[in-house]
Amino acid sequence: MLTMKTRKSLLKALAGAAATLLMCVACDDTTGTLGNNMLPGSDYIHTSSALYDVTTRSVLADSVFAKTSTGYVGRFSDPDFGYFESGFLTELNCTDNFTFPIPYTYDEKTKTGKGTLAGDSVVDCSLVVYYKSWFGDSLNACRMSVYQLDKRLEKNRYTNVRPEEFYNKYDPEALLGRKAYTAYDTSVPDSVRNATDSYGYATFEPNVTFPLDKEYARGLLVLNREHPEYFKNAEAFADHVFKGVYVKSDYGDGTILYVDRVAMRMSFCLHYTDSLGVALKKQDGTDSLTVSSFTVFASTKEVVQANQFMNSDLIAQRAAEEEHTYLKSPAGIFTEATLPYDKLYQDLAGDTLNAVKLTFTNYQQQDKYRFSMSEPETVLLLRKTELKEFFENNSLTNDITSYYVSHNNVATNQYTFQNISRLVTTCISEKLDAKQAARSKAGASWNEAKWEAEWTAQHPDWDKVLLIPVQVDTYTDSYYGSQRVIGINHDLRPSYAKLKGGPKGGNLQIEVIYTTFQK
């Protein structure tokens, strides 16, 4: 039987073992060890913090990867950054084995009818540009032009696409339409604007409509009958029938539309029929007819869409300022930060890194103009070497080399990354592994100073991260009620922030919390 003293000793030992286990699990989950030494069991734990300098600068984005189903069209001028102009090119999707309504025929033998189309013609045809929101002046007078493409779009999603390579602006038949508009259409009555269906969803969508020639639509109808293989799928449709449209703004300054989709709509005169397909008659003996409108082809996520963004030269002047840095979207300016990995390893080798906190503070922005841009809502901190593949591969943040946070505009005007220690340890380990491999290969001829110089020249962005404005798409799990991130893309809405730092504006600092084990 255990004595009371023995029981107390055993309980004390178990409690100590449990505490050690919990500490080890916590360290493995959230921290990284910079050194490679084994820790003796009798080590004394001491936690400390230190500040290290981080240098920053602005870098021009030039163009960004923009895989999005939203089209941006319009022009907006800002006194600080100059003009920003956007337009987009898009294909129209064709559902598999698409067919138009067929003309009505009646079989006297079977007493049944087939088809619904009254005659073989189109009542109306139009190209409709739908949008739900915009940036800037809702009553600004603008004009939009739509051109038909004569060349298939490439799967290049970057915003430096050259529209003139895909259509002939000197061909009068390329212009499908030109229309003046305001983002808020005052000609639409409130009864229409505020109408909802039986489920409470709005039935009106703001749009700019371009009437098309009925003979043009009639040609599509005939082509569908003669060559159904051209309408087999979206690829065949784009190859043989309709390669797409270029939507651009050619008048107005102060409004950017966020376009949801472009649709080709056709109206047909159709017979009312019974269950046997027999055309119904009115009481006076005439045919019972109705005119129905259908979206036949539309831009969707399944087809190629490319946005073009152009900025004035003034944005380059802002990026060159050295007393601060900028974030500017879309396709404008990123902030680059150089992290002190070598210094951290030199000082903390053998210690355990618990947390590394990095904060970007923006200056208070004042609404100096009628339509001023606000700060980006969300930013991505991304290792610079991974910029291209992150967006092209539709990656999500891994909390190792990529992180995102929202702007705190209430209390601090900051973007704060609470713990990027895994980024630090990953990058340091990458260099250490490369050095160890080179040392083993070189043997007696090893020259560390020469290797360091060559490494720096070959990996200039090894220690650099970018701060990038992004939009984060989420999905709400209806069962658990939680949100999951399903996509991270460049923010293509106008926004900007001026951040503290810059080559002449003073260094930022990272706050490092680490654990030292001492005997």
pLDDT tens per residue across all 519 residues of the chain: 444 444 444 444 434 443 433 343 344 444 455 554 444 554 578 899 999 999 999 999 989 999 888 999 999 998 889 999 999 999 999 999 999 999 999 999 999 999 999 988 899 999 999 999 999 999 999 999 999 999 999 887 899 999 999 999 899 999 999 999 999 999 999 999 999 988 888 889 999 999 999 999 999 999 999 999 999 999 999 999 999 999 999 999 999 999 999 999 999 999 999 999 999 998 888 889 999 999 999 999 889 999 999 999 999 999 999 999 999 999 999 999 999 999 999 999 888 899 999 999 999 877 666 778 999 999 999 999 999 999 999 999 999 999 999 998 777 899 999 999 999 999 999 999 999 999 999 999 999 999 999 999 999 999 999 999 999 999 887 777 788 999 999 999 999 999 999 999 999 999 999 998 775
My answer on whether 128 and 239 are in the same domain is yes
Domain of 178 in residue numbering reads as 82-309
- Give me the residues paired with residue 127 across strands: 210, 264
**Is residue 72 situated within a structural domain?**
no
How many structural domains comprise the chain?
A: 2
Which H/E stretch holds residue 126?
strand 124-136
Quote the Cα angle for 195-199-202, to 5°.
30
Domain boundary among 266, 283, 309: 309
My answer on whether 152 and 290 are in the same domain is yes
Contacts of 380 (CB under 8 A, 6+ apart): 397, 402, 403, 404, 466, 467, 468, 469, 470, 488
**Is residue 76 situated within a structural domain?**
no
My answer on whether 319 and 450 are in the same domain is yes
My answer on whether 402 and 480 are in the same domain is yes
My answer on whether 242 and 316 are in the same domain is no
**Is residue 74 situated within a structural domain?**
no
**Is residue 5 situated within a structural domain?**
no
**Is residue 462 situated within a structural domain?**
yes
d(Cα 154, Cα 306) in Å, to the nearest integer? 9
Query: Which residue type sits at 152?
Result: R
My answer on whether 299 and 325 are in the same domain is no
Which H/E stretch holds residue 488?
strand 483-490
Tokens of 82: 């100059």
My answer on whether 262 and 354 are in the same domain is no
My answer on whether 291 and 319 are in the same domain is no
Q: What is the DSSP track for 22-42?
A: HHHHHHHHH-EESS-PPPPTT
Residue 263: phi and psi, rounded to 5, are: -135, 140
d(Cα 509, Cα 183) in Å, to the nearest integer? 44
Q: Over the range 324-348, which residues count as b (16 or more CB within 10 Å of their CB) and which as e?
A: bbbbbbbbbbbbbbbbbbeebbeeb
Contacts of 338 (CB under 8 A, 6+ apart): 54, 55, 56, 463, 464
Please report, for residues 214, 232, 233, 489, the alpha-carbon distance to residue 98 in angstroms, rounded to integers and kept in the order given. Answer: 20, 7, 8, 33
My answer on whether 101 and 147 are in the same domain is yes
Please report, for residues 190, 198, 256, the alpha-carbon distance to residue 364 in angstroms, rounded to integers and kept in the order given. Answer: 38, 46, 25
> Is 519:44 a contact under the CB 8 Å cutoff?
yes
Tokens of 429: 């380990």
Find, among 381, 467, 469, 390, the residue nearest to 420 by Cα.
381
Tokens of 57: 């600068």
Domain boundary among 309, 333, 358: 309
My answer on whether 372 and 494 are in the same domain is yes
> Is 35:48 a contact under the CB 8 Å cutoff?
no
d(Cα 460, Cα 441) in Å, to the nearest integer? 23
Domain boundary among 285, 309, 333: 309
Question: What stretches of 341-431 adopt beta strand conformation (E)?
Answer: 352-361, 378-383, 402-406, 414-417
Find, among 428, 380, 424, 387, the residue nearest to 405 by Cα.
380
Tokens of 136: 């800037």
My answer on whether 293 and 319 are in the same domain is no
**Is residue 21 situated within a structural domain?**
no
Residue 429: Cβ within 10 Å count: 14
Rounded to two decimals, the pTM is: 0.86
d(Cα 187, Cα 194) in Å, to the nearest integer? 14
